[in-house]
Amino acid sequence: MILCRRIDSPVGPLMLAADDSGLRHIEFRDNRHPVNRGDWHGGDNAILQATEAQLAEYFAGTRTRFDLPLAPRGTEFQLRVWQALARIPHGSTSTYAEQARAIGSPDAVRAVGAANGRNPLPIVLPCHRVIGTDGALVGFGGGLPVKEFLLRLEGALPTRQAGLF
């Protein structure tokens, strides 16, 4: 059974979903690719509690790695892409081309982008750390303002200065 609960965060409400095998989903309020929640039930378990606690630490700037049982569902290719996301260090970025090379499919840049877009565990599997080859912030299911916020939080982008003087 998949249990779910909503939590508040600095990037808006997040819906967490987990079953006994691990964390299955983290959804933003306006997810680009909504999930069928037909088999989800409101509730709580140790995985959801740990996820909420670790996300709070992440947003407070005291956690740089997540230690959660993960259970994303996807194709073999998607799972390889999502595993590669976990290897991008906190405070760093990678490009879609670098991710394609990292999974041994250098010609699959567009497919890597599509798999990132379907990542069911954003933030924990940090697809926000993947940017365009030219450094542009592109393609994030939670929206580009959220991607920018997360990268600034991690120090991967300079903090904004108020005013010029």
Residues marked as catalytic: 127
The per-residue b/e assignment along 107-130, b for 16 or more CB within 10 angstroms, e otherwise, is: ebbebbbebbebbbbbbbbbbbbb
Token output for 130: 């993947």
Sign of CA dihedral 116, 117, 123, 128: positive
**Ramachandran area for residue 32 (φ above 0: left; ψ -120 to 50: alpha; else beta):** alpha
Sign of CA dihedral 14, 30, 142, 127: positive
Which are the contacts of 75, defined by CB distance < 8 A and separation ≥ 6?
none
Residue 75, judged by CB atoms within 10 A of its CB (0-12, 13-18, 19+), counts as: exposed
Contact, 153 vs 61, CB < 8 A? Answer: yes
